[in-house]
Structure 1
């Protein structure tokens, strides 16, 4: 724990409050929760003001999503990028998960369109152009 990054700081603080046995679990999830809350706040700012009445449910939904998928995404991204240690990626990924907000379906369509184009190019297709 020689790097000053959010996860290590959270683990150090959690070890003081909860002891070293729990700190390794509580610290990373505290970072995910804080980062996804900040991202959700940015996403909430993009919503229609009349829809902001359900802000607590919105934050709960985005934070729960981040708590469930951030560690896995961090591991996948770290493996793809060749990093052995991926704890430092928890905060930025959770921030993105929260910040995307209700735009997940639009993001998924965009990703699938890009993947389709890449696969089409690799297969030698011309996309219907004559």
Structure 2
């Protein structure tokens, strides 16, 4: 079944440029790189003007992060959602990774606080109420 999603389009283009043997590898990672770059551009817009001098390093850091974690996150999300084919999730997850930018520590604290509250409620805690 042919689907018109970013990964399949990138694989088709990569097969013309690099041949079918490499297209299956290059296509998905091209999508990850493009999506994380767009997300990083959004995140860069939130930074102050003086910090924009390091924009190239900022893009490199976020793109490298997206290249390293997107496939794993898509696999985890696909398993959690009950999907076998997770290729369609690569672009949105890479976009999210780039878009969060330097806010990962703050996002992680927020997630851990929420998970802690859920676990506390399940354990029968009072949520810190006095």
**TM-score band, normalised by the shorter chain?**
over 0.9
1:96 matched to 2:89: no
Q: Does 1:82 align with 2:82?
A: yes
Q: Which residue of 1 aligns with 2:30?
A: 30
TM-score by length of structure 1 reads 0.98
Alpha-carbon distance, 1:128 to partner? 2.6
Identify unmatched segments of 5+ residues in structure 2: none
Q: CA RMSD in A?
A: 0.7
**The residue matched to 1:41 in structure 2 has which SS?**
helix
**2:12 equivalent to 1:12:** yes
The alpha-carbon deviation at position 129 of structure 1 amounts to 1.8
Following superposition of structure 1 onto structure 2, how do residues 1-130 of structure 1 map, counting pairs within 5 Å? 2-130=2-130
Q: Secondary structure at the match of 1:124?
A: coil
Find the aligned partners of 1:129 and 1:66 in 2 and give their Cα distance: 40
- Using the TM superposition, give the Cα deviation of residue 117 of structure 1 relative to its aligned residue in structure 2, in angstroms: 0.2
Cα deviation, 1:30-79, whole Å, max 9, x if unaligned, reads: 00000000000000000011100000000000000000000000000000
Q: How many Å separate the matches in 2 of 1:129 and 1:16?
A: 62
Between the aligned partners of 1:93 and 1:73, the Cα distance in structure 2 is: 7
Instruction: Name whichever of 120-129 and 29-38 sits farther off.
Output: 120-129
Q: Partners in 1 of 2:47 and 2:127 — Cα distance?
A: 36
